[in-house]
Amino acid sequence: MSNTPSYYEKANLSRIPDLMKLAPEAAASYLAFEKLVYQDSQHLERKTKELIAIAVAHVTGCPYCIDVHVTKYKALGGTMEEIMEALLVAATTRAGAILSHGVNALAAYRDDPASPQCFC
């Protein structure tokens, strides 16, 4: 294993409180929002919410979120087979979004808009 430090060290999560001290009101709002969203509701149980979070974490590419939500999901009785199925759903959905956004490229190519303004 390399001794080169990585940006994605699990120990870095322990520094989140330091980060939150820089914007305490926004941090408190975020934590309240997260607590509200992840509690059981009449529509989705926590296990389902954690499975959704795992899929989203893979789409956003956050290794911290992957680790945290897989750990929580496993503790709630989730299986690796369920995770894999959710990852495949996320992968096909992401691929489908890329394909369907291709119509924008087609329109831009065919319509040849006059000097579009780009802010990216």
Amino acid identity for residue 54 in this structure: I
Q: What's the confidence (pLDDT) of residue 114?
A: 64
Give the ranges where the chain is alpha helix by DSSP (H): 16-20, 24-38, 46-60, 63-75, 80-111
Q: What's the confidence (pLDDT) of residue 107?
A: 87
- For the chain, the domain total comes to 1
Spell out the per-residue pLDDT of the chain, length 120, in tens: 567 777 788 888 899 999 999 999 999 999 999 999 999 888 999 999 999 999 999 999 999 999 999 999 999 999 999 999 999 999 999 999 999 999 988 888 888 666 667 776
Query: Domain for residue 23, yes or no?
Result: yes
Q: What's the confidence (pLDDT) of residue 100?
A: 93
CATH number for the domain spanning 43: value is 1.20.1290.10
Query: Domain for residue 107, yes or no?
Result: no
Q: What's the confidence (pLDDT) of residue 116?
A: 63
Question: Which DSSP string corresponds to 67-98?
Answer: HHHHHHHHHTT--HHHHHHHHHHHHHHHHHHH
Query: Domain for residue 116, yes or no?
Result: no
Enclosing domain of residue 81: 13-95
Query: Domain for residue 4, yes or no?
Result: no
Query: Domain for residue 74, yes or no?
Result: yes
Q: What's the confidence (pLDDT) of residue 28?
A: 96
